[in-house]
Amino acid sequence: MFSIIQAAGWPIWPLIACSILALALIIERFVSLKTAKIAPPNLLDEVLSVSRTAVPAPDVVTQLAMNSALGEVLASGFRALNSNPRCSPEDLRATMEGTGRMVAHRLERYLSALATIASAAPLMGLFGTVVGMIEIFGSQTPTGGATGGNPAQLAHGISVALYNTAFGLIVAIPSLIFWRYFRARIDAYLLTLELASERLVRHLNTLRR
């Protein structure tokens, strides 16, 4: 592996840094976007069961907010109702939507960095290719013949060009795949949070009648 890095020359080092950063972001997102941390499957049913007859006490609402992202959104509805029992359904919905936007911003953290790496890695590989081509042309004789040039410099230029192109694609392709995967996963979570919020609003309106 070290021999490949040597053959690729100095332009590959930024790509290695990007690959390490992309791997760290992918691992972090896998850990942070677990279903248990975002939208536990049975949480909404449990919340509706607990609030069947009355709005839960503030300490129960605090525990709910600490449970998950979905719990945080649902807890904002209960808090709005506790602070103003006569709040309109529109105000209740707006409060939960505001909390949902904050949760969405948190879920999308680091995705822009991963998308930037996916876009920039091929360009960085292309830059390494250009550097390699410059070394190839630098190995030519003044008359333009390759046979009279420096064979070692010619071989090194070809290595720099090919290795950087390949490594740029190796970094960019997985980064793009995981960015799209996380994007779709977050969109599914946000849809779940939106539907759960709407269901809780209807439940609370029925409870107050």
Res 204: pLDDT: 84
Query: Is 104 or 161 the better-scoring residue by pLDDT?
Result: 104
Listed residue (81, 92, 69) closest to 201, CA to CA:
92
Pick the residue with more confidence: 161 or 94?
Answer: 94
Region of poorest pLDDT, from 17-26, 68-77, 199-208: 199-208
Dump pLDDT digits (tens) for 183-197: 999 999 999 999 999
Give the model's confidence band at 6: pLDDT under 50 very low, under 70 low, under 90 confident, else very high: low
Highest-pLDDT range among 33-42, 123-132, 142-151: 33-42
Structure confidence at residue 127 (pLDDT): 87
Between residues 157 and 18, the one the model is more confident about: 18
Q: Does the pLDDT of residue 161 top 60, yes or no?
A: yes
- Percent helix, strand and coil across the chain, each to the nearest 5: 80, 0, 20
Q: pLDDT at residue 176 above 50?
A: yes
Encode 108-134: b = buried (16+ Cβ within 10 Å), e = exposed.
Answer: eebbeebbebbebbbebbebbbebbee
3-class SS letters over 192-204: HHHHHHHHHHHHH
Predicted pLDDT at 72: 94
pLDDT for 205 = 82
Q: Is the separation of the CB atoms in 206 and 92 below 8 Å?
A: no
| Continuous segment of H or E residues that includes residue 156 | helix 151-208
The answer to whether 128 and 156 have CB atoms below 8 angstroms apart is: no
pLDDT given for residue 133 in this prediction:
82
> Is it the case that residue 139 has pLDDT exceeding 80?
no
Average pLDDT over the chain, rounded to whole? 86
Q: What is the mean pLDDT of residues 115-132?
A: 89
> How many structural domains are present in the chain?
1
Residue 208 has pLDDT above 70, yes or no: no
Q: Which domain, by its residues, includes 168?
A: 2-208
Q: Is the pLDDT assigned to residue 75 strictly greater than 80?
A: yes
Q: Does residue 137 surpass a pLDDT of 50?
A: yes
